């Protein structure tokens, strides 16, 4: 097992790592190009250095099992792999955008029951033409700037990448393909006569189902939780991101940022490669 490490990400990361190393004393430092690792156990010096780095706009993570490439990635979709909430965008097309957005925010902060909030929001889509999905994908959905680099690099290293979402298959299918994921799992919207009925088909994929998918993938691949990285931003992601050492709260709601082993607040998803000790010079070109 790799030794514990601290990862600094951002401008001045190497200087931060070298300064912390001197407290070590002289703990090993690795320059990742845009980030740096220092191998040392957690202590007050580490906590202080991480807090100072975050305050200055860097990301900092303590990795108790060290930095090594994972074999499995599970990622949330909305506000993680993409910059939007797909259901909010659909509801806006149906004329209920602001009301649904407010419910989404509450649900992602963990203030509402996810399944009930999902059904309430989906009900606003009743009679909306299903063809609107193509418009939303083309006009409103943007990928995280680093996600294609992340998936391409992990694919080259032999890892499996899975998009797992409380959203819907009409979005996860095309977004998974665009972002470079191997598989996707999500909920299904009921469609009749090319229009949404306002119903979501059971079973609903929520917080616990995401963790179940993690465990199923690990079992199928013969891996342990130490071999996986899970990333998400909302309360619906809590079960999976707290189930693995490399559980990442990504630009997350406070309830997730406080519970997850790792948080990324300032950089894009390519930063997850640094957490695995993968130097920028070893990143894959997704083109």
Instruction: Point out the residues that are catalytic.
Output: 76, 78
Kindly compute the dihedral angle of the four CA atoms of residues 43, 65, 215, 279, in this order, to the nearest 10 degrees.
Answer: 110
Type and span of the H or E element at 188: strand 183-192
CA dihedral over 222, 227, 232, 238, signed as positive or negative: positive
Query: Are 217 and 160 within 8 A, CB to CB?
Result: yes
Give yes or no for a cis peptide into 25 (omega within 30° of 0): yes
* Measured distance CA(75)–CA(181) in Å, rounded: 9
* Measured distance CA(183)–CA(29) in Å, rounded: 36
The residue ranges of DSSP E strands in 22-158, in sequence order, are 29-31, 35-38, 59-63, 72-75
CA dihedral over 252, 254, 259, 262, signed as positive or negative: positive
Structure tokens at 179: 């972002």
The residue ranges of DSSP E strands in 193-286, in sequence order, are 195-201, 228-232, 246-250, 262-264
Structure tokens at 260: 């997850």
């Amino acid at each position: 097992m790799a030794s514990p490490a601290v990862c600094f990400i951002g401008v001045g990361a190497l200087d931060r790592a070298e300064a912390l190393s001197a407290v070590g004393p002289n703990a090993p430092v690795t320059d990742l190009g845009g980030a740096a690792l220092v191998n040392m156990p957690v202590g007050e010096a580490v906590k202080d250095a991480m807090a100072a780095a975050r305050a200055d706009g860097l990301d900092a993570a303590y990795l108790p099992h060290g930095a090594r490439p994972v074999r499995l990635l599970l990622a949330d979709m909305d506000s993680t792999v993409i910059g939007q909430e797909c259901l909010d965008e659909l509801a806006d097309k149906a004329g209920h955008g602001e009301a649904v957005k407010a419910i989404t925010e509450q649900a992602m902060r963990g203030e509402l029951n996810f399944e009930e909030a999902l059904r309430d929001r989906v009900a606003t889509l009743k009679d909306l033409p299903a063809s609107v999905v193509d418009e939303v994908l083309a006009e409103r959905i943007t990928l995280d700037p680093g996600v294609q680099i992340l998936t391409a690099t992990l694919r080259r290293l032999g890892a499996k990448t899975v998009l797992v979402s409380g959203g819907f298959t009409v979005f996860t299918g095309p977004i998974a393909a665009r972002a470079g994921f191997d598989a996707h799992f999500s909920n299904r919207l009921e469609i009749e006569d090319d229009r949404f009925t306002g119903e979501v088909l059971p079973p609903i994929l929520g917080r616990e189902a995401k963790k179940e998918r993690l465990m199923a993938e690990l079992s199928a691949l013969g891996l342990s939780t130490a071999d996986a990285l899970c990333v998400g931003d909302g309360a619906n992601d809590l079960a999976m991101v707290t189930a693995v050492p490399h559980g990442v709260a990504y630009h997350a709601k406070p309830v997730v940022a406080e519970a997850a082993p790792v948080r990324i607040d300032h950089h894009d998803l390519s930063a997850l490669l640094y957490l695995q000790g993968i130097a920028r010079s070893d990143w894959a070109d997704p083109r």
